Amino acid sequence: MKAFIYFLVLVCLCGCSKKLSTKDYVVEKMNKDMSSAVRFIRLTEADDTLDLSKCHPIDYFRTLTPAGRYCDMSECVAILYKEGLLYSVSGSGAVYFFDNSMLKTRYGIFSAIPTDDNYWMPATVTFDEYVAAYECVANKTNRLIYTENIDRQRQKLIDMGVKDFDPYSVPLIEPN
């Protein structure tokens, strides 16, 4: 019985640490992106000032975006708050916060898709073993879907020097 309890605790710790590591990575990366960003863009219907310290984080995502017409696949980190979605894409120089009212959905794996004019729109991504499909979730926009080959994404992660990722969870970047 004692051994079983130890086993349970160990399983719990492993599970928690895995989730925490994604959270820690995303928070650290978001802080880094914010320190180098030149634009902080909030999509809102309100006039008030956004204070992230008063927002309530719920979930954390680290993903690979699709490639756009003028850009390659990039790493995206996103934090889903009770109040909205915060995300940034490596190298974009911008951090975005979409209030809930500006999002079509709050459910799914959050990433971003590029626009032709060099902005990034919030997107949810679904995938199987071959293809990742990204759908824009910004409100008041026409249906916008990007697809990306999973093998290309795996190769991209290797090219980026990401060593520890689960090849079966791509475009989610999760520890193996």
Partner 1 sequence: MSRVQFENYSSMKEVKEGKSLDRTKFVLPKDDSSFGKKLFSEKTICFTDYTTSKLAAKTCTAVIYEKGVSIEVNGHKSYFDAKGMDAIPFKKEFTLTAMPSEIPDAPWQPAVIILEDETDYWIYTSLYNKGDYHRQVQRIEGWCWGVARAQGYKYKSLRVN
Which stretches of the chain bind partner 1, using CB under 8 A?
30-31, 34, 39-47, 49-53, 95, 97, 115, 117, 119, 121, 138, 140-141
Q: Rounded to the nearest whole angstrom, what is the least distance from the CB of residue 25 to partner 1 in the complex?
A: 15
Q: Rounded to the nearest whole angstrom, what is the least distance from the CB of residue 30 to partner 1 in the complex?
A: 7
Q: Rounded to the nearest whole angstrom, what is the least distance from the CB of residue 95 to partner 1 in the complex?
A: 7
Q: Which is nearer to partner 1, 45 or 164 (CB)?
A: 45
| Residue tagged 């190769």 (tokens) | 155
* Residue 73, C-beta contacts closer than 8 angstroms, at least 6 positions apart: 64, 65, 66, 67, 148, 152, 153, 156
Q: Which is nearer to partner 1, 140 or 163 (CB)?
A: 140
Tokens of 56: 């309530």
Q: Which is nearer to partner 1, 20 or 41 (CB)?
A: 41
Q: Rounded to the nearest whole angstrom, what is the least distance from the CB of residue 164 to partner 1 in the complex?
A: 25
Q: Which is nearer to partner 1, 51 or 129 (CB)?
A: 51
CB 49 within 8 A of CB 96: no
Q: Rounded to the nearest whole angstrom, what is the least distance from the CB of residue 10 to partner 1 in the complex?
A: 33
CB 114 within 8 A of CB 76: no
Rounded Cα distance, 138 and 98, in Å: 8
> 112: how many CB neighbours lie within 10 A of its CB?
27
The per-residue DSSP string of 35-68 comes to HH-SEEEEE-S--SPP-GGGS-EEEEEEEEPPP-
CB 86 within 8 A of CB 78: yes
Q: Which is nearer to partner 1, 135 or 153 (CB)?
A: 135
